[in-house]
Amino acid sequence: MFVSLDRAVYFAPRGRKRLMNLGQLLAQRYLSPEDRLVGLIGDAGAGKSLLIRGMFPGLVLTNDDDGINVRPLPVLHDAEAGFFGTHSYHVDVRFETAFCQVWEIADAVRRAVAAGHRVIVEHFDLLYPALEFNAEMLIGIGEQVVVTRPGLFGPVPQSIKDQVYQSLVYRKMAHTAEDLTSIALDAIGTEPPQYHSDVRGGFVLEFREKPALDLDELEAKVQGLIDQDMAIGYHDDHHITMGGQVLFCSGPRLHVASTGHISNFRLVKEFRYSPLTQTYLLVGLVGQSVGVEEGITVDSGLSS
């Protein structure tokens, strides 16, 4: 029996490995072996599938990021057959509504849960009105990852959706700005950072030695790249295309459409030293102000 959890909030990391590591952590901390219904909420490209891979290793995703679509949908097939042969099922509601009605998915999920099987549902907010009961564990992912174990009075999926959908754009802007900053550092001839970590509304680059950098000059170089409004596209699981070049990226699906979509980029004009990690932190921010003068909370726990 879990103690009631209102919600836990984490920085949403940007790399594949870091997202899967976070998923593993969430499963260890919050998932019960008896949970039968787990709902995920987040817009396309937020990282729902990678969180699921970390939480449930070996689970077959019915709408894989690589384009491998499992047909017919296993939970629908088994519900119609009257025999559930798998312990855990995966459903991507947004994808499946191209092939069947929401009420059909809800009925199959209801039957599977009643039979004691687990169903992991992406885009749970779309299923909830037809299902008419909440998930035992609900996870939203935007700029942050929000974890809750809903009670009878909520939170309802729509409230989680409202929170994470509007914030995803800042995570995408921050990721693209982080890559542009790395490009600018390389052009200057600075050694690459040892670690990447996260801060609300931005990114953090961690160095073992304090770089001899003019941060105003670096900021201007990055802003120059932003002003070029270079188109950004997915190339493969480890690369993006930017301005006609193929570049390495640990989270290739999590970018704005072009560099010009980054708003209000700025660097914090001093390196922050962390005595615990013995690294020098360079902080970049995008979008609205996050109260830099009042202090920044940096996540160094999921660096890679």
Shared domain for 83 and 214, answered yes or no, is: no
Shared domain for 95 and 239, answered yes or no, is: no
Candidate from 69-78, 93-102, 268-277, 292-301 with smallest mean pLDDT? 292-301
Which CATH number fits the domain that encloses residue 189?
Answer: 3.30.980.10
Q: Please tell me the total number of residues recorded for the chain in this structure.
A: 304
Indicate whether 42 belongs to any domain.
yes
Full-model pTM: 0.82
Starting at the edge strand found earlier in the chain, the sheet holding 137-141 runs 8-11, 144-148, 137-141, 37-41, 118-122, 88-92
Q: What is the pLDDT of residues 137-190, one digit of tens each?
A: 999 999 899 999 998 777 999 999 998 998 889 999 999 999 999 999 999 888
* Interatomic CA distance for residues 122 and 270, integer angstroms: 41
Instruction: List strand residue ranges (DSSP E) for 19-103, in order.
Output: 37-41, 88-92
pLDDT at 133 over 90: yes
Shared domain for 212 and 73, answered yes or no, is: no
* pLDDT confidence bin for 128, thresholds 50/70/90: very high
Q: What is the pLDDT of residues 237-289, one digit of tens each?
A: 889 999 889 998 888 888 999 999 999 999 999 999 999 889 999 999 998 76
Which pLDDT score, from 0 to 100, does residue 303 have?
A: 39
The DSSP string of 221-250 is HHHHHHHTT-BEEEEETTEEEETTEEEE-S
CB atoms within 10 A of CB 142: 25
Total domains in the chain come to: 2
Shared domain for 188 and 127, answered yes or no, is: no
Domain that holds residue 219: 169-299
pLDDT at 298 over 70: no
Indicate whether 304 belongs to any domain.
no
Indicate whether 3 belongs to any domain.
no
Shared domain for 253 and 125, answered yes or no, is: no
State mean pLDDT over 68-83. Answer: 85
Name every residue whose Cβ is closer than 8 Å to that of residue 58 and which is 6 or more positions away in sequence. Answer: none
Shared domain for 32 and 175, answered yes or no, is: no
Q: Is 194 helix (H, G, I), strand (E, B) or coil?
A: coil
